[in-house]
Amino acid sequence: MSKALTGELQAVREELESWVSYGPRACQLLQQLKSFQVSVEILRSTQLGKILGRYTRHPEACVAASAKKLVEGWKEQLRPRTQAASDDDSDAPRRKRDRRVPQERVENSRRLVRRKVVSATKGREDELQLSFTPKTRRRAAAQLHSEDAKTLHSEDAKTSFNFEDATQRRASRVRASVSEMQRRAAAQQTR
């Protein structure tokens, strides 16, 4: 690796790193980098890859595109080619992503219950006392959710549905279930 080449690359690197080179100047610097033949040692010593990584997310399209092309070109240049790939490019090794076997995603039943409880208690957290244990709160919220679903289905069968009445009934059920749970908690504490 020649000192002159490393010195030139270092100068370009410093100018790119300072972010002074914005817009057309950055494009010129990236074009200048394309003309250099780089090796792995040079890239490691100058750490140009790190700086170009930032430029791939540059707000100006020409700068980002030039940086991406340069990085891709360097990767292709520095990748060792296998004998099979060099003989026949159509049978090039598949990428790791292409070799993956799709698997069914298994959902955790507990996690699903927690999501239902959270969505069921939205707007009603203040109705459930914080003195309950999390398990008790989840049970109460799940019970409220199932009762709400039953009420909606039974009320839908009627021709006229009054939301105010349903809300009042739900509030009274919540108060009754909360007071029942408080009574049970007090009874357990006295034991």
**Looking at the structure, do residues 113 and 186 belong to the same domain, yes or no?**
yes
Note the pTM of the prediction, 2 decimals. Answer: 0.40
Measured at the CA of 107, the angle between CA 144 and CA 130, to 5 degrees, comes to: 35
CATH number of the CATH domain containing 53:
1.20.930.10
Tell me, yes or no, whether 148 lies in a domain.
Answer: yes
Please tell me whether residues 7 and 75 are part of one structural domain. yes
Kindly state whether residues 126 and 176 are assigned to the same domain: yes
Domain that holds residue 123: 109-190
Both 184 and 114 in one domain: the answer is: yes
Kindly state whether residues 123 and 180 are assigned to the same domain: yes
Say how many domains are in the chain: 2
- Residue by residue, pLDDT tens for the chain (191 residues) are 466 777 787 888 888 777 655 677 888 888 888 888 888 888 888 888 888 888 888 888 888 888 889 888 888 887 776 554 455 555 555 565 555 555 555 455 444 444 444 444 455 544 444 445 566 667 777 777 676 666 655 555 554 556 677 788 888 888 998 999 999 999 988 87
